[in-house]
């Protein structure tokens, strides 16, 4: 399939790939017709989706069935008056109805808005009002439908709420009955052009309300590199990306590039992550290719992996956060498979990655995807020298079309768009350096970099150092204010089970001294807090912003207590809430 959209598909190495990779973008491209239906015509019996859940239920869908079911779903949506440009929010967890719904919306030229099932009433209300959402398709889960029902009185644009079951609340439509009784599908004569908005994601930054990231109908083609040259998928491979459908990573790893490559998408539908269960599913279904965030691999390497037959697994990729070298080394030791790191954003497809011809350097993001003109920039926009830290940017010369895969902008927010996209550059907000071999090394988000006593400290390098200590399962590095140094490094740590009872000043000093030995001593965490778990997004990314907010609230409380002690004639300081520091 990818041969239709590339000038060349086989490359001798990264240099050949970088020099000769070129996409061919058809006029009025539509993933539903040009990929799903094309496979259905060529190989209707080829398996497209293998879905199973934690209860042991299983469903397999061929491309022929996918065409029929997405046509029926599109016809059902048509009967409700949903068509070109209409915005429909999908809150479907990992349920297979997500794939039916999103492809059906593509076929109609409508705009799909994937959303996490964890949205509260206020979240739903905000999204409906900002995006003028016409319909919501949601899993029939009591918590989800209750939040939506509470928001609906404040969502005047919403005409339909549709449940995929098992529960269908009063006033809701039944998705399954709807597609069963749908009229014949009438394909629109011209459902879209390439510049129409196909996808809309709400993504949160470190401050302010969520932004609306808009992608056009060519966006799926940008994921050819993601699947064929990062996941290294072959036709017929069974690929598992561990992501909820409300997160952008789902379409990175569970849809567009995989079906363009002719791979089979494996979906494990579960409520609560369990590392042993995941390993069992990989063994049972003979998974060939696996992608997950570092958080998942950190838990997998603490299981007895030798108990599982993973002989079918031949390739592993990792994204979502920077990869700590200790995780890379342990996974390779357990499985013999290197982790091929990749980097991108909701606003992009894969932008930097370790590709099949490359030998990965543990902890390196890899090299630029030739789909984009990427470099590391100084504050003045000039190209940084090897070893010099700067911001990862994408060059878009004035008057040139944006690269396929890059977002259209932040919907209805020209000011926010211009802050990120100006002077011929899209600014990712991520800081990195490049070594002499052209490999990129992640430092941190621009607003996560810690400035202490004149030093600039990247949180990732300190996290990596902490994770080499056997007591540390997970770690988040943030800054806390300090009157002398401006900021000091804080480590928020989840301990391995066998170390939990040892939590205390002695273990803290041991971890601090360990970090001093494995990295520059000035980077060590002067403040350490042990916690049961780290705050994370639905995608598994650590929410450092939540840790900083909690610390700020703790500072206010401590300052108030200090003032009270001063009024009462006492003085001193408290480390409650921080753990211990030195």
| DSSP one-letter code for 23 | B
> Does residue 102 lie in a domain region?
no
Asked if 91 and 66 count as a contact pair (C-beta separation under 8 A), the reply is no
pLDDT for res 567: 37
| DSSP one-letter code for 436 | T
Nearest to 348 by CA among 210, 255, 213, 440: 213
Q: Cα 106–108–114 angle (5° rounding)?
A: 40
> Does residue 194 lie in a domain region?
no
> Does residue 543 lie in a domain region?
yes
- Walk along the chain (582 residues) and give the pLDDT tens digit of each residue: 999 999 999 999 999 999 999 999 999 999 999 999 999 999 999 999 999 999 999 999 999 999 999 999 999 999 999 999 999 999 999 999 999 999 999 999 999 999 989 888 988 999 999 999 999 999 999 999 999 999 999 999 999 999 999 999 999 999 999 999 999 999 999 999 999 999 999 986 544 578 899 999 999 999 999 999 999 999 999 999 998 899 899 999 999 999 999 999 999 999 989 999 999 999 999 999 999 988 789 889 999 999 999 999 999 999 987 788 888 999 999 999 999 999 999 999 999 999 999 999 998 999 999 999 999 999 899 999 999 999 999 999 887 889 999 999 999 999 999 999 998 999 999 999 999 999 999 887 777 778 776 666 878 788 888 999 999 999 999 988 887 777 889 999 999 999 999 999 999 999 999 999 988 788 899 999 999 999 886 556 778 878 988 888 776 444 444 444 333 333 222 222 323 333
pLDDT for res 570: 31
The total of structural domains in the chain comes to: 1
Which residues lie below 8 Å from residue 283, measured CB to CB, with a gap of 6+?
308, 309, 310
> Does residue 554 lie in a domain region?
yes
Peptide bond into 166 cis (omega under 30): yes
Q: For residue 488, give the CATH number of its domain.
A: 3.30.300.30
> Does residue 283 lie in a domain region?
no
pTM: 0.83
> Does residue 532 lie in a domain region?
yes
Domain extent at residue 499: 448-581
Asked if 43 and 63 count as a contact pair (C-beta separation under 8 A), the reply is yes
In this predicted model, what pLDDT tens digit does every residue of 448-481 receive, in sequence order? Answer: 778 776 666 878 788 888 999 999 999 999 988 8
> Does residue 168 lie in a domain region?
no
């Amino acid at each position: 399939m990818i041969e239709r959209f590339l000038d060349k598909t086989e490359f001798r190495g990264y240099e050949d790939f970088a020099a000769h990779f070129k996409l061919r973008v058809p006029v009025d491209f539509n993933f539903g017709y040009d990929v799903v239906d094309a496979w259905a015509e060529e190989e209707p019996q080829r398996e497209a989706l293998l879905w199973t859940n934690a209860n042991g239920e299983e469903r397999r869908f061929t491309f022929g069935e996918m065409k029929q079911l997405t046509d029926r779903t599109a016809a059902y949506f048509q009967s409700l008056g949903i068509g070109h440009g209409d915005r429909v929010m999908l809150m479907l967890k990992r349920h297979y109805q997500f794939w039916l719904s999103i492809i059906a919306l593509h076929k109609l030229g409508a705009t799909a808005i994937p959303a996490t099932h964890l949205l509260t009433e206020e979240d739903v209300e905000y999204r409906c009002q900002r995006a003028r959402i016409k319909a919501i398709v949601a899993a029939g889960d009591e918590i989800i439908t209750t939040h939506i029902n509470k928001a609906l009185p404040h969502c005047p644009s919403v005409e339909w709420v549709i449940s995929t079951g098992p529960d269908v609340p009063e006033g809701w439509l039944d998705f399954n009955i709807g597609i069963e009784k749908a009229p014949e599908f009438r394909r629109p004569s011209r459902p879209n052009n390439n510049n129409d908005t196909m996808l809309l994601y709400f993504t949160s930054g470190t401050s302010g309300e969520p932004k609306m990231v808009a992608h056009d109908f060519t966006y799926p083609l940008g994921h050819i590199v993601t699947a064929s040259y990062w996941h290294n998928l072959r036709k017929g491979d069974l690929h598992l990306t561990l992501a909820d459908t409300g997160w952008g990573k789902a379409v990175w790893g569970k849809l567009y590039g995989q079906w363009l490559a002719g791979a089979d998408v494996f979906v494990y539908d579960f409520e609560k992550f369990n590392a042993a269960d995941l390993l069992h599913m990989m063994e049972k279904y003979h998974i060939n290719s696996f992608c997950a965030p570092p958080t998942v691999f950190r838990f997998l390497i603490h299981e007895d992996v030798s108990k599982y037959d993973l002989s079918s697994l031949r390739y592993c990729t990792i994204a979502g956060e920077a990869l700590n070298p200790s995780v890379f080394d342990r996974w390779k030791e357990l499985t013999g498979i290197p982790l091929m790191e990749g980097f991108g954003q909701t606003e992009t497809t894969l932008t930097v990655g370790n590709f099949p011809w490359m030998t990965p350097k543990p902890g390196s993001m890899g090299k630029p995807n030739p789909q984009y003109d990427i470099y590391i920039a100084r504050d003045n926009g000039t190209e940084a020298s090897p070893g010099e830290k700067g911001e990862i940017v994408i060059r878009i010369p004035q008057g040139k079309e944006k690269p396929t895969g890059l977002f259209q902008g932040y919907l209805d927010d020209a000011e926010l768009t211009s802050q990120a996209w100006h002077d011929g550059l899209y600014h990712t907000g991520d800081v990195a350096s490049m070594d002499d071999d052209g490999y990129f090394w992640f430092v941190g988000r621009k607003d996560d970099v810690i400035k202490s006593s004149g030093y600039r400290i990247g949180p990732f390098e300190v996290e990596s150092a902490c994770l080499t200590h056997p007591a540390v399962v997970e770690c988040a590095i943030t800054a806390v204010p300090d009157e002398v140094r401006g900021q000091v490094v804080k480590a928020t740590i989840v301990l391995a089970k066998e170390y939990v009872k040892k939590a205390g000043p002695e273990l803290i000093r041991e971890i601090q001294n360990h970090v001093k030995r494995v990295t520059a001593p000035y980077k060590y965490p002067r403040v350490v807090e042990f916690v049961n778990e780290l705050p994370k997004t639905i995608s598994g990314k650590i929410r450092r912003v939540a840790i900083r907010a909690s610390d700020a609230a703790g500072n206010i409380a401590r300052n108030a207590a200090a003032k009270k002690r001063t009024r009462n004639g006492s003085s001193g300081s408290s480390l409650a809430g921080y753990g211990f520091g030195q």
